[in-house]
Amino acid sequence: MNGASNHHSGMDTLAGLNLWADLRPEDLSSMSHDEAARLLKHMRALRRRCEAQAAELDRLRKQTKGGWMPDLSQLPVACLTLSARHRIAEINAKAAELLGDTAANLKNRDFATFVAAASYDDFAGHVRETLASRDVRVCHLKLTRPDRRSLYVQMDSYAVPRDGGASCIQTVITDITEHRLAIEVLGRLAAIVESSDDAVIGKDLNNCITSWNAGAQRIYGYTPEEVIGKPISMLMPAEHTGAVLTMLEELKQGRPIDHHMSVHVAKDGRLVDVSLTISPIKDADGNIIGASTIARDITERRKAADALRASEEHLRSILDASPDAILQVGTDLNVVWVNRAAAAIGAAVGESCCAMYGNAKAARENCAARKAIFEKRTVITTFCILNPDDRQREQCWENVGVPLHGPDGSIKGALLTARDVTARKQAERARLEYEKKLRQQASELVLAEERQRRQLAAALHDNIIQDLAISMLRVEMLREKASSVDRPLLDEFARTLGKVIDETRTMTFDISSPTLYRLGLAAAVDELMDEFLQGKHGICCEFFDDGQAKPLDPDVRVLMFQSIRELLINIVKHAEADEVSVRIEREGGMMRVTVSDNGKGFNVNHTELTMHRTGGFGLFSIRERLDYIGGRITISSEIGKGSRFSLYAPLKT
């Protein structure tokens, strides 16, 4: 209603009154009592005007006794003369203006054409009763003008006999549209007050209750008969009665009281939290004669607010007890709230949360609150800065930014949690360094082991196998000179000695491939595939070398050969493959070895490489050792479609 008050200031127009007719029940709580007073004043003016017109009509009626007809054009009111058949015999300018046409056009026209269908029976009955009576008859009708505008009128009519003919009807028409709408508005206002959920209480200047609606009865429990005429202080605790007199003095000065929070007492003794809006009531002359109080029961809302406040305080106490720094920031990245831990590190309300990052570039990269707001997701960042108290030490922080949403789903800011992870970072770095040393020692151990194996293989090859070979020659010489009796025994001895030589050679190859050191990696791999895969296990093999120079450090060559051999052993044990290919190619400054099979494959995404162990090496071991030498391994596999392993190692520069 506040927005409508400007329209209601002029109650002398039909348009203004129509605005009052559009009142809704929810408008009551903010309706101005001055507007209601102006409405009553306007209705009194309309009533006085109707009374004046009635007096004028009575004067005319007295003058027309004996059949004399006045000159309608000289009358100050809207007048017309109707025949018994409703035809307009005479009409003055004011009546013509009221009907929306000229007097010339309206003369001899059937007046019933202006009467709304819902009012026709009343009009016809009015004409009959007027013709049959000597008194003034009054009728209220709804008319429709040629321009389709509707209006309500009061017809004050009396019969005028004519010489030698039937009587006619002299009628004064009064436009009561505004009066009719005003009555409807008052009725609607009364219904609004009565149906309101809020208590609407009227009181006089003695603070005695003069009106009491159903909402008041529901909130306080009193019936109107129990409270009307009694002081309004009966609704208040004893300690609040002084406030009643203070508010009354405010109202006498014409100052309304809006949304005053108070506590009232219901009939059953329970306390009711209320929000009061109190406005002065004025008479038609603007004098304050009382006050209207609208009391809204906010008990449940107050309880909910108290519960929310307690919950917020509990949450804040929890957040304050957190060792992590917690900040609430707005969309402008300025801090709105901090806990004790955040305040302890220098965070302050009103400052930018990005200040702690040192510079704009670092803030863009590391400010989790900024990213959470602009990316609309939870963001975790970690950054390290020099300790302000000790510039020789770093201080590391892990930040978590969580976007905060409003009721409409829009981003209203972010919650930033900063945790000091300096000790954890130091521990992680120590662990990584320790793991690096372990990998280095493991690789060095493997290389040391390989050197020992190579020495052992060389000793076997250069000493034992050579001695066995010489022994074989001597046995052959003895066989040639032996008798037929001794020859079978020497043959058996030669076969056994040959088997020992073969097994010793195989053992020498398993311990360390002599070919690897004499002819290089490609020759050693080709030999391994030929003897191990095809010769021993019957697997079809394909080997390819692009023929380009691929110089390797001795240690790198050993690790690559061991890795390839371990992959081939894995294929034999697990892949169930019948075809294997190995390709050795140069790729820039790296050597790439691709090992492929047509076995059953596996799901790479669900394979934990760190748990995949087979013998001395596994995929984890291969990866770790390749990392140590600056290489890497990539794996592609699919169930039922085999596997492919690509090993990369840096070439010797």
> pLDDT value at position 163?
61
What's the CATH number where 531 sits? 3.30.565.10
- Residue ending a domain, among 321, 337, 367, is 321
What would the pLDDT profile of 285-303 be if each residue is shown by its tens digit?
A: 778 888 888 888 888 888 8
Same domain, 332 and 305: no
Higher pLDDT: 162 or 197? It is 197
253 and 384 part of one domain: no
Q: Examine residue 14 and state whether it is found in any structural domain, yes or no.
A: no
Q: Is the dihedral of CA 147, 148, 152, 156 positive or negative?
A: positive
Residue after which a domain boundary falls, among 321, 341, 356: 321
Pair (165, 201) in one structural domain: no
Q: Which of 156-165, 404-413, 480-489, 513-522 has the highest mean pLDDT?
A: 404-413
The predicted structure's pLDDT at residue 483: 75
Asked whether residue 3 carries a pLDDT value surpassing 70, the answer given is: no
**Residue 54 pLDDT exceeds 70:** no
> End of a domain among 154, 181, 208?
181
Q: Is residue 618 part of a domain?
A: yes
For residues 379 and 291, membership in a common domain is answered with: no
Same domain, yes or no, for 117 and 159? Answer: yes
Query: The domain spanning residue 142 has which CATH number?
Result: 3.30.450.20
For residues 102 and 37, which has the higher predicted lDDT (pLDDT)?
102
pLDDT tens readout for residues 129-146: 998 887 889 999 999 999
- Whether 561 is covered by a domain: the verdict is yes
Q: Which of 30-44, 491-505, 524-538 has the highest mean pLDDT?
A: 524-538
Quote the domain boundaries for residue 358.
322-420
Picking from 16-25, 454-463, 479-488, 618-627, which range would have the lowest pLDDT averaged per residue?
16-25
**pLDDT exceeds 90 at position 203:** no
- Residues 353 and 290 grouped into a single domain: no
- Closest C-alpha to 646, from 585, 603, 578: 585
| 55 and 177 fall within a common domain | yes
Most confidently modeled range among 174-178, 343-347, 353-357, 543-547? 543-547
Q: What CA–CA distance (Å, rounded) separates 172 from 150?
A: 18
Q: Which of 82, 144, 158, 147 is nearest to 115 (CA)?
A: 144
Q: What is the mean pLDDT of the chain?
A: 80
| pLDDT tens, position by position, 487-502 | 788 888 888 888 888 7
Compute the distance between CA of residue 82 and CA of residue 170 in angstroms, rounded to an integer: 7
Q: With 50 as the cut, is the pLDDT of residue 591 above it?
A: yes
In a domain, 278, yes or no: yes
Split at pLDDT 50, 70, 90, the class of 228 is very high
Asked whether residue 148 falls in the same domain as residue 210, the answer is: no
The pTM assigned to this predicted structure is 0.40
Could you tell me if 143 and 87 lie in one domain? yes
CA 313 to chain centre: 24
Q: State phi, psi for 495 to the nearest 5 degrees.
A: -65, -45
pLDDT value of residue 620: 75
Q: Are residues 175 and 83 in the same domain?
A: yes
Q: Are residues 295 and 344 in the same domain?
A: no
Residues 6+ apart with CB under 8 A from 221: 266, 267, 268
d(CA 416, CA 379): 10
Domain membership of residue 12 (yes or no) is no
CA distance 571 to 578: 10
What pLDDT does 125 receive?
Answer: 93
CA angle 335, 341, 345 (to 5 degrees): 70
Residue 598 lies in a domain: yes
Comparing 623 with 126, which gets the higher pLDDT? Answer: 126
Number of structural domains in the chain: 4
Residue pLDDT, tens place only, 381-413:
887 777 666 656 778 888 899 999 988 989 999
* 606 assigned to some structural domain: yes
52 pLDDT tier (thresholds 50, 70, 90): low
Q: Is residue 448 part of a domain?
A: no
